[in-house]
Amino acid sequence: MHKLALALATVLALSGVANAAPLSEKNMPLDVATKLAQSAIEACAADKYNVSVAVVDRAGNIRALLRTDAAGPHTLDSATRKAYTSASTRTPTAVMVENIAKNPSAAELTTLEGFLVLAGGMPVKSGDETIGAIGVGGAPSGTIDEACAIAAIDANAELLK
């Protein structure tokens, strides 16, 4: 009798899941990703920094990837991994650097495939929802990379409402 009650309870619990509404999420559209990437390139170029910029969607898939003519080849990977890390954690990568410094056991995050815990990755939000992230690599410091990413987000704030 106990097993029958348990089986019935399980079926009833799962039937609620089957009737759930479809999931609706905002995501990074290509036109916005392209504008963000170009804006970050322009922000860094204004200070004569040669960088690469990656914009990913909420799942970390590349939507736009640009490299200035004189940026090093390694900057493509750096920008992509910073964007992926920020999208995955929904956190600026500079904050992750700080958190790891305060909590050494969190350093294991650096071993996750695709992660790069250096400043320069910023989540991109539409309202309160993270729709993706932008990563910049190639400026002389992660702080400058991050400033270019923030400038791009600010320059396109109207598109992100």
Look at the chain and count its residues: 161
pLDDT at 5 over 70: no
What pLDDT is attached to residue 21?
Answer: 84
**pTM of model > 0.75:** yes
Retrieve residue 14's tokens: 């799962």
- pLDDT tier, 4 (very low <50, low <70, confident <90, very high otherwise): low
| Alpha-carbon gap, residue 62 to 72, rounded angstroms | 19
Structural domains of the chain in order of their starting residue, each with its CATH number: 26-160 (3.30.450.150)
What pLDDT is attached to residue 24?
Answer: 85
pLDDT digits (tens, 9 = 90+) for 10-43: 555 565 555 678 888 899 999 999 999 999 999 9
- Residues 65-88, mean pLDDT to the nearest whole number: 98
**Phi then psi dihedrals of residue 139, to 5 deg:** -70, 165
